[in-house]
Structure 1
Amino acid sequence: MISNFLTTAVRSLLRQKYYALINLIGLSVGIAAFLLIVLYVQHETGFDKHLRKRDNLFRVVEIQNEPGVGEQHVAITMGPLAGALKADFPQVVNAVRFMPGFDIQVVSLGNKNFRERGLYYTDPSVIGMFNIEFLQGNPATALSTPMSVVLSEKTVEKYFGSTPNVLGKSMMLGKRSFVITGIMKDQPMQTHLFFDILVSISSVENQADFEWMKGWGSNSLITYIELDQSESRQIIEEKFPEFLRKNVFSKEEGWEFLEMYLQPLDEVYLESQHIKFQNVSAAGDINLVIVFIVIAVLILLVACVNFINISIARSVKRAREVGIRKVLGADRLSLVYQFISESLLLTLLAIFIAVGLVELALPEMNKLLATDFHIDFRGNWIFNAGLFLILIIISLAAGSYPAFYLSRFQPVKVLKGGSSIKGSSAGYLSKGLVVFQFMISVGLMFSVLVINDQVDYMKNKDLGIIYRDAIFVFFGDDDDAGKSEPLRNELLKDSRIRTVSGCSFLNGVSGSQGPVFVDDSARTKLTMRFGYVDYNFFEAMGVKFIAGRNFDRKIASDKGGSVIINQAAARKLGWDNPLGMKFKTVMGADTTVKPEVIGVINDYHYFSMRSLIEPAIYVWNPEMFRGLLIGYYAESDKQSVRKYIEDKWIDHFPDTPFQPVVADDFAAESYKNDQKLFSLFVYFTTISVLLSVLGLFGLTSLLIEQKTRIIGIRRVLGGPVWKITSQLIHDYMLLVLIAGAIALPLTYYFLEQQLRQFAYRIDINAFHMISAVVILTLIAFFTIIFKAYRAAGANPVKALKYE
């Protein structure tokens, strides 16, 4: 029975090779696009899955309502928090702190010097909570004593090569010697917090420079807790206000604005766009994942709609076949099985082709997204189960209606030629499906136009600062800042170098922010970004002054005793004329004087345009510089001038790695991820539109084929064919307009929600909407014209002999 169905299905498909090929191409491309998006979604939702205790792990997040900043969620917390949570809540099984090793600029072993990014101070409890596997050493004691360090496999290889046993050996972290007490397995890449070097936090807890870790007045550590069960989260959060009153408000002034909550570990990677100061290695966006899931489903639906529409349109040609089969004794159920088996066979072929297309497309997709996606049939049962579900769902969804519709035909009626779908329920369904297809295409095209303009806006907007033709190189330690003058002087002797300036970072601000008190009776306080810059930084980076002056080397009080603020700070403080206003104290400034505002600079973007420009205050204090900004002239050969800078850097700082941050790359980084995902969005939108066009082409071909004899008669009688063509054009243009009328408002709402993520964004206008509809209308128009005039130009004798 089954073999008979399959044999008949193969013969039927071969008889209709042209339309079977259209269906096969549509389904193959649609399934391939769906699978590519599934791989992306699997990757994004697969972060931190290696952590066995992840269901009971939570990150502590603070909600701060500081003056001048408003509500902000931050992932950095106070030093004593982890211990207090464990002491006050029996539900807390364990707690661990992570603190980036910001004081360790260089890790050294012999003549090997590197700047390590994945270096954290942490508690011994990290090993059990994050199920770190040890290759050497005792996990129970590896981080329990000061000056101990645990290295990853690849870090050991980098510093020691193939040395089999490195336990007990020493290496320099900054200026201090640490003992290697453990070797851990490399972490999976799909983790939000990637670390290669773990240092015992007891190494710094009792140092004078880290005395602040014992108090509740400073935030610098990320705190994770392990609960006895996930349901305990609500109990703890309900008691947080009382906990804060007891431990924070009673001991530190000015923290009454503070709240806390627990964020499940499973949400950290994808659902943390609203959280600042995360110090994470990777961050995703759940909204983008949802968007791509929707796109994947829509593309698959478009492919299925093509199948259904062409099957319905083919019903005229297959009606006589159904009538004859029923006359010969075939029952309705056997006919249904027959048509579904055809659908099953075609879908199976499409899946095989789709997998091949995915394999071809993966290298380019991996290159675009900097990932390593691959199809693993043996190790990924979810993927295999998904392929099976696709086979069943598409076969039933795409084959059921045509099967039941065709099997319902009455033999007497169809053998007399009464099988037209015009005006029937199938005809209305066919038009409805065409509208649905074009709704998707119009919506995606509209989205592409808007997102493209937003990306262009971010790339071309005047940032208020010139991020090009410059590099920033980090110092190795605090002493390097005091030794940088000889290097500065030597670099400036080269005609290609236009400027050398010390600063916190390339953008002029450090990663920290804190309260600044105004010298007034009202004890006015404003939370501000801190920037430590040289006297020539603003000139070097093209930042304009709105009022006042720059730092001056000839004025001694400018160094630490004067400050420059941005427009955002002046607005928040309500100062119409900020010049001459004074602060009580500023971090890093001379505390013996009250810093005076000597200048106001134009607001510039020091971070992504997703965030507002925050109030910032700048101090000229060389002791706080973290590196050198080195600018060169645009016409210089960038490679040769950077090599020259590197050589001079090594001459002056042989123990400090030359690892520059390139200004052009820093600027591009802020929209790099948006650009990548936009490119991906364009690719899949193009696929959706092409699938719609392919379906329209096949459907138009069938409808014109049904009118072949009419066209032939008109040709023989000398009549025009344009009436038939114009009717088709009219019908489909109307369907496109209906699709646009439905899709545009829905898409507009969706795009507005997405654009709200950007503090600086474009406005959606009528041009975007009209362009989307016009583009799809023109595509549909030329598709119909192409097929209609091919039919009109055919031999009328053959047309009269048709069926």
Structure 2
Amino acid sequence: MIKNHLKAAWRTMVKDKTYATINILGLTIGLAACMLVFTVVIDELSYDKFWSRAGDLYKVNMSDKMADGLYKKNVYTPVGLGYGLKESFPEMEHFSSINTNELQLRIGDDDQDGIRLNVINADTNALAMLNFQVLSGQLVPFVAGHQNLVITESFRKRHFEGEDPIGKVVEDVPSWSNKSQSYLITAVIKDIPPNTHLRADAIALTKPSDGGDLTKAGIRGGTSVYYLLKPGTDARVFTNKINTWFRDFTENPTEKKGVTFDLQPMTDVYLHSDFNGRQQVKGNIRTIYILSGVGGLLLLIACINFVNLSLARAMKRLKETGVRKILGAERKQLVAQFITESLLFFVIGIGLAIGLYALGIPVVESFLSHDLAGTLLSSLPVFALTLLVVFTLSIATGAYPAWIVSGFKPANTLRGKVGQNPVMNTAGLRKALVVTQFTISIVVLVALLVVRQQVDYLTHKDIGYNKESLLHIGLRNWEGKGETFKTELTKQPGIEAASIAGWNLVNGSTGMSGTIDHPLKEGEKIDINYIIADFDFAQTLGFELQEGRLLDAAYGTDAYDLYATMGMDKEEGEQYKNTRSSLVTASTARMLGIKETGVPIPKLGYSAVGILKDFHHESLHHSLGPVFILGQQNPNYAYLFIRTTPGMEQQAQQSLVKLWKEFYPNRLLDAQWVTDILDKQYEAEQKQQALFSFFSGLMLFLSAMGVFGLIVHAAQQRVKEIGIRKVLGASVAGIVRLLSTDFVKLVLIAVVVASPVAWWIMNKWLEDFAYRIDIQWWMFAAAGVVAVLIALATVSWQAIRAAIANPVDSLRDE
């Protein structure tokens, strides 16, 4: 019986090649795209779940409660907290300081610039928390004399092919000072899976610190600290114990009232660390929701196509089915026949989709800039589950058309009286499905327009300074030679100005920050960012002075000495600040009620001698906050900004490299263009734009294919009507209009339905940005016009073919 069903299904496909091609192509594209999307989703959700003790690993974060009830979260916590808790609570098994950063490692003597690699910096306690598979060498004990370096197998193959690296001493190319850090390679481990926020090529091990960063007087500094709790420990209960213990331990009244700690599961760090601007590898849970929705919608559109075409084609098979019922076929046999056809379509579709999926994986990995930890084809259980889902989907999708087609009365059908037949009543369903398809496509198309406009807004908005032809060098210890280096640099061809300042453009952090009582709002606190910079800062960046003057070394009060304040008591420190000058931004002046320059600001000190036009020291995801610029003659620990002459950027870089080697011959020079740094801040949005471009095109294509199949069916059903109309004098344009009108109406209904849905979704998406566009009416109009034009082009092509056909052929009796 099954063999007969398969033969009949195959013959049906061969007989109507247009119908078969549209169905198979739609299913192939829909299934392949859905598989690729959900591979990425599964990969994103799998981060850090491969550690053997993943369920017991937690990252500790610290929150400071502000006067307005809000919390400011900090990812850095004192290592000393771990020591205190380990002594007091049996639930604590291990804790370790674990961070990631980039390292420039010099492998050979001729390798002057070194090899860039990602490194996990951790103390040896991490080895008891994170399971690494050793291939050669040994992780413990710690070998004194050098920092111990554990490299991965792939790193060894790339840089130590044919030799044993164990016992070799390598050095980094320092960026902070002239002295290199030496590393002893002690082990080679199996590659760390890419689905971890601790993605790295090596592990740099140190001995655990002494925990001196936590005293009863208060917290000093901190780092990223991870805890391993004993199995079965309730993290919520233990979090309460941590905070109770800390309140009893500290004697600092501010920390006793305002500081709290929380445990973040290791498996949540990747997707739920939006507050950590320094984390190198991180995702976003909202991206997962978007991808899941898009993948599901793609598959839905493909299935709608299948159902729609199956229902439409059922009209051609009424007599066939009627004859089979008269000859004794039962309804369940007819249902089995049609479901078998559905299964055959899905089997062919999934076979082709798997091939397309395999070809698409490298493209996806290139787009994501990292390898996927696994695919649907690499795991037998996951692959089996995929096939089961497709099998279930094929049954569910084919069941409704099969049930409808098999349920009519054969006597009425054979007489041509099918007006009351259930199949005839499916026109409304088919129309609803077409509306659904185009509604989804239009929503995604509107999303594309909104994302594109937002990205364009972010990249072109005035940020308050001239970002063009500007170079940025990372944090350096200038060893007291910074001012001399800067002066010599400005003498070089192609370089107009330079400034040393405590402002990291990569993550927007400033050299110093603090929380003060709000001068205008009693009982409320406000965060202040301070940029300590030399006196050429404003001119180099191109800030616009709106009122007052710029900082000038000629004024003794314009110079600020951070280290001098460290030796002062509170009263001396306040008196010193009251005599210091600063620059503020226009929004800072409004926030703090600064109405005249040169007057100390209540509760803050620092006289604002000049007010600058607002500039964004962070990405446009963040709103403007109070910013003070303090002048320092020769900052020693800061970043360097270099203004180059437009058109002479290459010459300026050559001059920089040459002078750098004279002043700092052993140190790394890592200069980046500010425009490149700022573009990377919106890399996630740019990728979302690319995704929406691809998916909106794919959805419109699938929707157009469905409409094409329906118009082919409609033209076939009305072939005699069209022939009669032509004989009676109807024009080609009139017949095209006749066949096109109904479909265009459906698309227009889809525009009406999709517009409020798209507006709501994209308003939610825009809430992530402090500075965002307004959604305009033309975005919905443009999406609607594109959808209508695509539908019209699809319909018109087949309608014109039907309209220009010879009526003699269409009116000839069968």
TM over 0.5: yes
3-state SS of 2:12 partner = helix
The partner residue of 2:598 within 579, 600, 611 is 579
Distance 2:117 2:624 in 1: 26
- Range 680-689 or range 375-384, more displaced: 375-384
Distance 2:69 2:538 in 1: 24
| Aligned equivalent of 1:471 | 471
Residues 344-384 of structure 1: CA deviation (Å, up to 9, x unaligned):
11111112222333344444444433233598576323542
Distance of aligned partners of 1:376 and 1:269 in 2 relative to their CA distance in 1, 3 Å threshold: closer
Give 1:265 deviation, angstroms.
1.4
Is structure 2 residue 190 aligned with structure 1 residue 190?
no
3-state SS of 1:433 partner = helix
Distance 2:399 2:802 in 1: 31
Residues 261-281 of structure 1: CA deviation (Å, up to 9, x unaligned):
2211111111222x235x322
| Aligned equivalent of 2:756 | 745
| Aligned equivalent of 2:22 | 22
Residues 478-531 of structure 1: CA deviation (Å, up to 9, x unaligned):
2x3422344434432333111122123453964565326589999996432232
Distance of aligned partners of 1:179 and 1:388 in 2 relative to their CA distance in 1, 3 Å threshold: closer
| Aligned equivalent of 2:246 | 244
Task: Map residues 251-400 of structure 1 onto 2, 5 A cutoff.
Answer: 251=252, 253=254, 256-273=257-274, 275-277=275-277, 279-373=278-372, 379-400=378-399
Is structure 2 residue 647 aligned with structure 1 residue 632?
no
Task: Map residues 444-593 of structure 1 onto 2, 5 A cutoff.
Answer: 444-474=444-474, 478=477, 480-505=478-503, 507=505, 510=509, 513-515=512-514, 526-560=526-560, 561-577=580-596, 579-581=598-600
3-state SS of 2:241 partner = helix
3-state SS of 2:149 partner = strand
- Range 568-577 or range 446-455, more displaced: 568-577
Give 1:68 deviation, angstroms.
8.9
Residues 369-405 of structure 1: CA deviation (Å, up to 9, x unaligned):
3233598576323542244134313321321111111
3-state SS of 1:221 partner = coil
| Aligned equivalent of 1:775 | 786
Distance of aligned partners of 1:346 and 1:736 in 2 relative to their CA distance in 1, 3 Å threshold: same
Distance of aligned partners of 1:486 and 1:280 in 2 relative to their CA distance in 1, 3 Å threshold: same
Task: Map residues 538-687 of structure 1 onto 2, 5 A cutoff.
Answer: 538-560=538-560, 561-577=580-596, 579-581=598-600, 595-621=606-632, 622-636=634-648, 638-687=649-698
The partner residue of 1:222 within 221, 224, 249 is 224
3-state SS of 1:417 partner = coil
Give 1:445 deviation, angstroms.
1.6
- Range 45-54 or range 695-704, more displaced: 45-54
Distance 1:548 1:507 in 2: 26
Residues 573-628 of structure 1: CA deviation (Å, up to 9, x unaligned):
3333353315899xxxxxxxx75433332332222211222322323333344342
Residues 125-179 of structure 1: CA deviation (Å, up to 9, x unaligned):
2112122344455544328x79643332477789988652544857577647656
Distance of aligned partners of 1:387 and 1:194 in 2 relative to their CA distance in 1, 3 Å threshold: closer
How many corresponding residue pairs?
784
Distance of aligned partners of 1:802 and 1:661 in 2 relative to their CA distance in 1, 3 Å threshold: farther
Distance 2:733 2:371 in 1: 53
Contact 1:98 1:122 in 2 (8 A): yes
Contact 1:89 1:236 in 2 (8 A): no
Give 1:283 deviation, angstroms.
0.9
Contact 1:528 1:569 in 2 (8 A): no
Contact 1:607 1:670 in 2 (8 A): no
Distance 2:117 2:64 in 1: 28
Contact 2:732 2:804 in 1 (8 A): no
Distance of aligned partners of 1:564 and 1:89 in 2 relative to their CA distance in 1, 3 Å threshold: farther
Distance of aligned partners of 1:27 and 1:706 in 2 relative to their CA distance in 1, 3 Å threshold: same
Distance of aligned partners of 1:136 and 1:320 in 2 relative to their CA distance in 1, 3 Å threshold: same
Give 1:234 deviation, angstroms.
1.7
Whichever residue aligns with residue 767 of structure 1, its letter is W
- Range 124-133 or range 415-424, more displaced: 415-424
3-state SS of 2:218 partner = coil
Whichever residue aligns with residue 326 of structure 1, its letter is K
Distance of aligned partners of 1:305 and 1:100 in 2 relative to their CA distance in 1, 3 Å threshold: closer
Contact 1:25 1:350 in 2 (8 A): yes
Give 1:298 deviation, angstroms.
0.8
Contact 1:481 1:623 in 2 (8 A): no
The partner residue of 1:233 within 229, 232, 235 is 235
Give 1:796 deviation, angstroms.
0.3
3-state SS of 1:256 partner = helix
Distance of aligned partners of 1:213 and 1:790 in 2 relative to their CA distance in 1, 3 Å threshold: farther
Distance of aligned partners of 1:739 and 1:168 in 2 relative to their CA distance in 1, 3 Å threshold: closer
| Aligned equivalent of 1:590 | none
Give 1:8 deviation, angstroms.
1.3
3-state SS of 1:553 partner = coil
Residues 213-246 of structure 1: CA deviation (Å, up to 9, x unaligned):
8963334311221222465112123334423321
Give 1:44 deviation, angstroms.
1.7
Contact 2:106 2:170 in 1 (8 A): no
Distance 1:697 1:100 in 2: 53
Task: Map residues 413-432 of structure 1 onto 2, 5 A cutoff.
Answer: 413-419=412-418, 424-432=424-432
Residues 24-51 of structure 1: CA deviation (Å, up to 9, x unaligned):
1111111121122122213322322331
Contact 1:507 1:606 in 2 (8 A): yes
Distance 2:795 2:95 in 1: 67
Give 1:780 deviation, angstroms.
2.2
Distance 2:456 2:95 in 1: 45
Distance 2:610 2:198 in 1: 40
What TM-score do you get using the length of structure 2 for normalisation? 0.87
- Range 295-304 or range 540-549, more displaced: 540-549
3-state SS of 2:595 partner = coil
- Range 111-120 or range 704-713, more displaced: 111-120
Give 1:109 deviation, angstroms.
8.4
Give 1:656 deviation, angstroms.
0.5
| Aligned equivalent of 1:442 | 442
Distance 1:231 1:550 in 2: 58
Distance of aligned partners of 1:312 and 1:367 in 2 relative to their CA distance in 1, 3 Å threshold: same
Residues 56-97 of structure 1: CA deviation (Å, up to 9, x unaligned):
111122222336995322212134222223333332222222
| Aligned equivalent of 2:571 | none
| Aligned equivalent of 1:60 | 60
Distance 1:568 1:291 in 2: 35
- Range 178-187 or range 618-627, more displaced: 178-187
What TM-score do you get using the length of structure 1 for normalisation? 0.89
Give 1:675 deviation, angstroms.
0.5
Distance 1:491 1:542 in 2: 18
Whichever residue aligns with residue 658 of structure 1, its letter is L
Task: Map residues 37-76 of structure 1 onto 2, 5 A cutoff.
Answer: 37-66=37-66, 70-76=70-76
Distance of aligned partners of 1:159 and 1:303 in 2 relative to their CA distance in 1, 3 Å threshold: closer
Distance 1:644 1:161 in 2: 37
Whichever residue aligns with residue 337 of structure 1, its letter is A
Contact 2:704 2:794 in 1 (8 A): yes
Distance of aligned partners of 1:255 and 1:602 in 2 relative to their CA distance in 1, 3 Å threshold: farther
